A and B are shown apart, each in its own frame.
Chain A
Amino acid sequence: MDYLTLAGRLIIGFIFVAAATGKIADPEAFAQAILNYKVVSGTSVLVFATILPWMELLAGLGVFFGVATRGSSLILSGTLMIFTVAVASAVMRGLDISCGCFSADPAVGKVGWTRVGENLLMLAVAIFLFCSKSTSMSFEKLLLQRLAPNHGDPKRAQSD
């Protein structure tokens, strides 16, 4: 289970960090990608486009390195749920748009049921990470071992 959690953390973390960097570089193009879904409008889109990529970056780094893993995987699960619904609704409405997932470039990654499937797969991994108690090879574990060397010791836990 430890290795499965570690693999999930590294894969999802890498994907989200990679997805965030292009959007951070050009928030206006990402705002346009959001507008193309025709779900939200107005200047609030720019606020989303400013904050969302940084959330993806921080949560991606969080699960990758094992820092605030629960909060990070909660954020990733939440954003993936929203993305999945948005992409599925765009496909059902017949919109011919880019998903804006990895790049704000409209020529990259058009929406489709494959994209919905990929999102659902990543959502399953993110929920697994959220539920997993494994802290193998994480900064959290390293920090706990430094600060409280007896943390997690069953004998110590029983005597408490």
Chain B
Amino acid sequence: MSLENKPVNRWARHFRQAFAEAGVILVAAMVLGIGNTALHKQGLFRESPANPPLSESMSTFISLEEARSLFESSQALFIDARHEYDYNLAHIEGAVNLPIQSLDANPGLLVSLPRDKTLVAYCDGQECNSSVRLAEKLIEAGYTDVKIFLDGWNAWKSDSSRIEVSAR
């Protein structure tokens, strides 16, 4: 049996070829993924929430304590920007659900919110940006008293019992 045909060498060739092909696929996936999101301004290339018009005023962002005090004052309407499924599982008591995806498809959903209340947008927490995007849309729609509860649902549920579950 020649060295070339030894099973060990055949498997070594098999793995070398597999890793080379996988490398090409990985590079192609990086190029296509980054190119596609850049082209559609999605994900990494979405206009950053670091520079939205509302960041001009840091008072737009409220802490858990401020959110709690707004909640107790009954002068605020909490708006849950998460998916309907997550909202139905549990949400801040009295909050309405405006999933950011449904707003993209149907911006008309924004018109029926009360203008005499502070609108507080929230999503899961600091790792999501739906609350910031929702607040931007609210401001674009002409609402002036808009706050972002950045620590969102994760902070609220661990601190407060004022939560409710939607009947399904």
Contacts and interface: CB of A to CB of B under 8 A. Distances in A.
B85 A71 contact: no
Contact of A54 (B19, B22, B29, B84): B29
Contact of A55 (B25, B43, B86): B25
A96 B88 CA distance: 13
A71 B17 CA distance: 7
10 contacts: A26-B101, A28-B43, A28-B129, A31-B43, A35-B124, A42-B127, A46-B44, A49-B43, A70-B17, A71-B18
Interface in A13-66: 24, 26-29, 31-32, 35, 41-43, 45-47, 49-55, 57-59, 62
A66 B141 CA distance: 51
Given A24-B36, A27-B37, A46 B128 contact: no
B12 interface: no
Contacts of A46: 43-44
Instruction: Bin chain B's interface residue count.
Output: 20 to 34
B21 interface: yes
A106 B86 contact: yes
Interface hub of A52, A106, A130 (most chain B Cβ within 10 A): A106
Contact of A51 (B21, B22, B30, B83): B30
Nearest to B84: A107
B75 interface: no
Contacts of B23: 71
Interface of B: 14, 17-26, 28-30, 32-34, 36-37, 42-44, 46, 83-86, 89, 101, 124, 127-129
B37 A68 contact: no
Contacts of A105: 83, 85
A74 interface: yes
Given A35-B127, A62-B25, A50 B33 contact: yes
Interface string A59-94: 100100000101111110000000000000000000
A41 B128 CA distance: 10
Contacts of A58: 25, 28-29, 32
